[in-house]
Amino acid sequence: MEQQTQPLYWDKHRIPVNLTIIFSLLVAVYGLYNFIQGAGPLLLVAGLGVGAYSWFTNPRQYWIYPDALVVVYGSPRTKVLSFSNVSHLEMRALATPDRLRVWPYQGRRIVLLARDPDKFNEELQQALDDYRKVNPVLEATSEEVEVIPPNSVSADDGRNGSD
């Protein structure tokens, strides 16, 4: 089986510069200066901690493959969302900039802030439709996933008072 290495489409995150990392590194530098002067390492540790957290949690790029959406965070972190787990896409246009939401069957929804949200939504929807044409068996609704068979309920329904 040959693995595809190039995405069908990709886009960068809407905000090109992560200001949180810049400010946290400034706090870390100030904390290092204070630590050298004899103060505690609190500002140094806090600045580095917030910078690391921001590095690993703020997305940089979004890649669309034939069978998955990949969200690239700070290296080495990536999140792969298989199309077999995608329920639907939702484009939100409010007073804030357009946001594309990906609703999985299982897990938390993912909010994508691409630079060109309309084009990205179009490409992602096309890739999802193409995947579902090739893999119709994997298409399921959330109601089908949550069905409880009737024979799994006991006869006394737990009302006999025993624990």
Average pLDDT on 65-80 reads 92
Return the pLDDT at 95: 63
Q: What is the domain partition of the chain in residue ranges?
A: 1-16+61-138, 19-57
Strands 61-64 and 78-82: unpaired
Return the pLDDT at 39: 87
Average pLDDT on 143-160 reads 45
Please, are residues 53 and 65 in contact by the beta-carbon 8 Å criterion?
Answer: no
Q: Which residues contact 27 (CB under 8 A, 6 or more apart)?
A: 43, 46, 47, 50
Q: Which residues of 126-153 are buried (b: 16+ CB within 10 A; e: fewer)?
A: ebbeebeeeeeeeeeeeeeeeeeeeeee
Please check the confidence at residue 151 and state whether its pLDDT lies above 90. no
DSSP state letter for 105: S
Q: What confidence tens digit (pLDDT) does each residue in 42-72 have? A: 999 999 999 999 999 999 999 999 999 999 9
Q: What confidence tens digit (pLDDT) does each residue in 127-137 have? A: 999 999 988 75
Return the pLDDT at 136: 77
Average pLDDT on 16-26 reads 90
Average pLDDT on 90-99 reads 73
Kindly indicate the confidence band of residue 158, based on its pLDDT and cuts at 50, 70 and 90. very low
Pick the CATH number of 1-16+61-138 from 2.30.29.30, 1.10.30.50, 2.30.42.10, 3.50.50.60: 2.30.29.30
Return the pLDDT at 96: 66
Q: Calculate the average pLDDT of the chain.
A: 81
- Token pair of 124, please? 């992602």
pTM of the predicted model as reported, rounded to 2 decimal places: 0.72
